[in-house]
Homo-oligomer: A and B are copies of this chain.
Amino acid sequence: MATDTRERILDASRVLFARRGYAGTGIKQILAEADAAFASLYHFFPGGKDQLAAEAIRTSGAMYQQLVEGVLDAAPDLLTGIIDCFAGAAETLRATGYADACPIATVALEVASTDETLRQATADVFASWITALTTRIVSVGVDEATATELAISTIALLEGAFVLSRTLRSTVPMTAAGQTATEAARAVLKRAQS
């Protein structure tokens, strides 16, 4: 078997939950997309939809973090890396018809006040992103507190632009947010290096 059933179910889950949310995605829909039998789901995920979603969120968050870290590693410096991330996000939005943006934001907002298990999963993902970006900013000479604030603001700009760009079906918000993120980072780095 090329890809095993469990992985196909997770793949389909990541895509559907990201695009349609938790409540908006049916289990039957996931299984149809994954070309898997109904019983397979409960064989691999005895906890049902909740367990499946939690694992989809955590792996999806880790995959997106890897993607971003790859872009940052490939860039000559941190500032260029941030520019590249926003440009890449804009391109992905355009290429997917404004469907694929943040892999977990839709679910995060949906479950924040209703499902503590899933809320924790989304919180762990965001916390990991913030920590990773903060570390990179600290490593170029910025103090911890300032770096944390810049990391959070950069991710907030990215997430907010995802909301606006998907809704308005335009890359303009992503581009504008990228500009502001770049300027904010430039200002912080300039201060740190003086």
Contacts and interface: CB of A to CB of B under 8 A. Distances in A.
A5 B162 CA distance: 36
Interface of A: 19-24, 97-99, 105-106, 108-110, 112-114, 119, 122-123, 126-127, 148-150, 152-153, 155-164, 166-169, 172-173, 176-177, 179-180, 183-184, 187
Contacts of A176: 148-149, 152-153, 156
A20 to B, nearest CB: 6
A172 B113 CA distance: 18
Contacts of A169: 119, 123
Contacts of A24: 21-24, 110, 114
A164 B160 CA distance: 10
Query: Which 10 pairs, one residue from A and one from B, show the smallest C-beta to C-beta distance?
Result: A156-B160, A160-B160, A159-B160, A23-B24, A153-B180, A23-B23, A106-B109, A112-B166, A152-B176, A149-B176
Given A20-B113, A108-B167, A123-B168, 18 more contacts: A20-B110, A20-B114, A21-B23, A21-B24, A24-B110, A98-B113, A105-B163, A108-B163, A123-B169, A152-B172, A152-B173, A153-B157, A153-B180, A156-B180, A157-B180, A159-B160, A160-B160, A184-B184
